[in-house]
Structure 1
């Protein structure tokens, strides 16, 4: 296996880790409107991800940086062609981070409610747009002989990509719902389990349609295996949720995300962006990659740094592993 193939796999792993971790993160943000009945319950939901949300975004930064260094042509075409949706995602992530920190800086109810509303929208919008973006990457976009995107932003809003956006939105919301059931106690935990069933059923229908479309369009035997794993894991997650096994339900919803993302990258390889104008104009792991020397240096850095990142993130989740409820909140005036 060539180094550019290795880095394609590593970037796929980074995006998978990001969607697994930030997926429930976004889902909890969406639940501040769908599940919480009062401001105390909103605080509980936000506190479940309070210690980890910023660490989850490390995976996005690493995935973007790795793409820039390992596949500069891919990075250039992607970020120029998808400039507007990616800018919207970036603005949402900035506002979201500010909202987490600023909502408790003043005691006024309107101040805190406005920032909590910001958390909802800046969780929902990226959750949808990431699916749109990856739907277009896999399905193909208008790339010319100079490896440049020549379509418009409206071309990105095609039925396949929009369905992908709905899948990521509902799947992340389901992932966040089972995470909430895992991390909370009392009434909010029970309501989270009930909502997880409803959201999970909608997710199953949308995901099955999207993955079957992907398989029919560009799939092979390997992607078919990933499809079966994704669907089976989602069904098992729903069953575990109904049985009150929140840990298993969360793990299986995570497997669903991992298998679904793996399927997308399996159908994409050896391309990194497919041209709908001419297959010969597609960006591949070969024509979009950096030099072998650059990839070699990056590989050594990854070998050294990756275990450190995994260890400190794992430690963070271990420290903040206990369940919380409204009874654990401090005085609401602070």
Structure 2
């Protein structure tokens, strides 16, 4: 495996790790505005991710930084062509982070309700936009011979990409519902399991359409194998959820997210950003990568830093592993 190929795999792992962790994070944020019946239940939902949401975003920073350093042409074309959606994602993530920190700074109900609404809206918006962005990356966008994006915003709002955005929202919410059932007690736990069952079925139907569309246009044997894993994991997650085995349901819902995004990267390789104008203008792992010396230095740095980050984040989840309910929320 060449260094550009290795870094494509590393970046894929970083993005997949981000969507596995931030997926249930966004899902819980969406459920805070739909599943919760009152402010106490909204606080329970938000508190399940309160200790970990900011750590989950480390994966996004790492993925963006690695893309910039390892594939500067990819980074430049992606961030210039997708400027408006990515700017909106950034603004939403900033507002979302502020909402987590500010919602409890004042006792007024209207103050807390508005910040909780901000968590719901930004979680929903970011989940949808990430789905749209990655669907467009796999499908291909107008890129010219100079590797410059030549389209506009409307090029990104095509039926395939919009379906990808909806699929991301539903699957993340399903993942979040399973996580909620795993982390809560009482009536909210029961309703989360019920919601997970419904969301899993709806998400399965939508994901089947989107992933089969992907397979028919860009797929290969590897992506087909990932598609089979998505289907099997979704069935297993639904069965475990129905049986009340929330731990296993979360494991399998996580496999659904991992395998679905892995399929997109497998369908994309060896391209990193296809051109819809001419296949000769595709950005690939070879023509978009940095110099070999840069990639070697990055490899050593990643080998040293990654275990530390993984151990620290794993320890965080272990410390905050207990379930919570409305009885744990101070009035």
Aligned mates of 2:134, 2:231 — CA distance in 1 = 19
CA deviation vs aligned residue, 1:187-231 (integer Å, no higher than 9, x gap):
000000011111111100000001100110011111110000011
Aligned mates of 1:190, 1:324 — CA distance in 2 = 13
Segments of 5+ residues of structure 2 without an aligned counterpart are none
Aligned mates of 1:300, 1:151 — CA distance in 2 = 38
Query: Given the alignment of the two structures, is residue 76 of structure 1 paired with residue 65 of structure 2, yes or no?
Result: no
Match of 1:131 in 2: 131
Segments of 5+ residues of structure 1 without an aligned counterpart are none
Aligned mates of 1:321, 1:113 — CA distance in 2 = 27
Match of 1:117 in 2: 117
Q: Cα RMSD between the aligned structures?
A: 0.5
Describe how 1:41-60 pairs up with structure 2 within 5 A.
41-60=41-60
Describe how 1:4-83 pairs up with structure 2 within 5 A.
4-83=4-83
Match of 1:142 in 2: 142
CA offset at residue 177 of structure 1?
0.2
CA offset at residue 185 of structure 1?
0.2
Query: Given the alignment of the two structures, is residue 313 of structure 1 paired with residue 313 of structure 2, yes or no?
Result: yes
Aligned mates of 1:231, 1:120 — CA distance in 2 = 28
CA offset at residue 83 of structure 1?
0.3
Describe how 1:182-331 pairs up with structure 2 within 5 A.
182-330=182-330
Q: What's the TM-score once normalised by structure 2's chain length?
A: 1.00
Aligned mates of 2:158, 2:92 — CA distance in 1 = 22
SS of structure 2 residue aligned to 1:33: coil
SS of structure 1 residue aligned to 2:272: strand
CA offset at residue 130 of structure 1?
0.2
Aligned mates of 1:83, 1:238 — CA distance in 2 = 37
CA offset at residue 235 of structure 1?
1.2
Aligned mates of 2:248, 2:200 — CA distance in 1 = 15
CA offset at residue 31 of structure 1?
0.3
Instruction: Report the count of equivalent residues.
Output: 331
Off by >3 Å, runs of 4+ in structure 1: none
CA deviation vs aligned residue, 1:262-284 (integer Å, no higher than 9, x gap):
11001100100000100000100
Aligned mates of 2:235, 2:157 — CA distance in 1 = 29
